[in-house]
Structure 1
């Protein structure tokens, strides 16, 4: 791999690497001036040495008996990020077919490395976006709730000063309701700030942990029915958890629900997740058009999983969110 101004040996396979007398020495070759690897890293072009003894710039590695060598650049967007090197203890060991295969392997390696880089970058961006979202939630919900608590407390004191007990009791009741709402919001935010249970334990434990830490502590009746033997890819687990998280947030914050049912089942080809609440409901068309209730995020995540999403809701009769996802 290319690191700073050097081509650094990172991984190898084959009889040479199984030889106890062999080691990566030298393990760093200066780009442009040391060995075939350094030359290829600088030029970005394949080099084939049918007999390495005829190349004055060849650098022999300790313990190797290499007689022929092919080095192919690993490039992303015309930038060399590494090299793929094949060696043999025979002279003229590689033919044209071998060169084509090695170039293909180098190209596939480049795609894999770039995909891994983009995945890491996407995860980093997702962390930043999540932090920004939590900051907005903190400002929009908890901060406003605390402001409301202060106003109700001041109003109650004013009524007590004039001995108007009934009105003071009304203000105190409002204060208690607002404080309970703030407590629910804080529990939700604190849970979301914890390390991802999905990554550490998997989807089902993560769903149970969320329901126990947030919904049950908020006084909601919770029922969870899951197939414990589902084997899901990390991508599907993360996507389904994020969809469940958004649906549960809606039930907690907007639906005024006191009952949640979550079902997670699987067949030979598909996984199905259902989240049902007995809240106030909504008109799906209006909510989708308005981009409210976090539905944009749910729809986007369902599409990324190639899933089929169904929203069943109506004012006064609760909400069911159902997603079917194909196995990977």
Structure 2
């Protein structure tokens, strides 16, 4: 039971006027008995007794109707709270499901790098050793040759085991593999249906140069921005423009909501936390973040994140 419901019950006639009603009933009952015991006032006693009964019935009915009203109010409030919790839980589960997909992609890329860095280098070493052994085999004794062959055989077996393990890990993740752009579009479409808000998105460019950490960060920024637009902006339409350029990422989100007063959002805890999360995430990638809101006309947000990998390569060349 909510605090509001408890306060309503405390204010209700059921608790507020119980003692007063009992005193009235007792007083009227005593008066009616007095009249009934005196033959001179027997008619008046009957009238008073009937009045007492009628009063009891009317008062009971009034209390019954009031209690029903209070209980219905409590049930309506609890139902609204449950629907709100269910909606927030669905949003969280949807965001988590797509974030898990990004984690799968990150793990696949890590395994691919492991194959390149460790296994391919070891195979190269084995091939190089075989060529070297072939060139100097005429000057080596049989025992030396056997030792070299045994060492190369052990190295080849170890490499084979590592390769099999990597392939097995990749196979176990293969079913969950989805490109970042496809995954992002899928999330936006599902979120649009979940919150009953139209989300128009246009995503261009190539994700190949993006790191896994940057993909996860961009996903969180977009989900946070859309969540703010729906929950706090109360919008019905969101427009997302995302350009994955080679030198930088440019993201623009605009909604038709009530508009956030950016000069006052620090005083609104939930909105402030959401925007601060976006700001901190963008700052961690040396990016820029700006937001403009006009009350009654919606909110516009812009994020730019540079490709630090390409910038570092250019600086190294210079």
TM-score, normalization by structure 2: 0.47
Higher normalized strand content (fraction of residues): 1
Higher normalized helix content (fraction of residues): 2
Structure of higher RCO (CA pairs closer than 8 Å, 6+ residues apart):
2
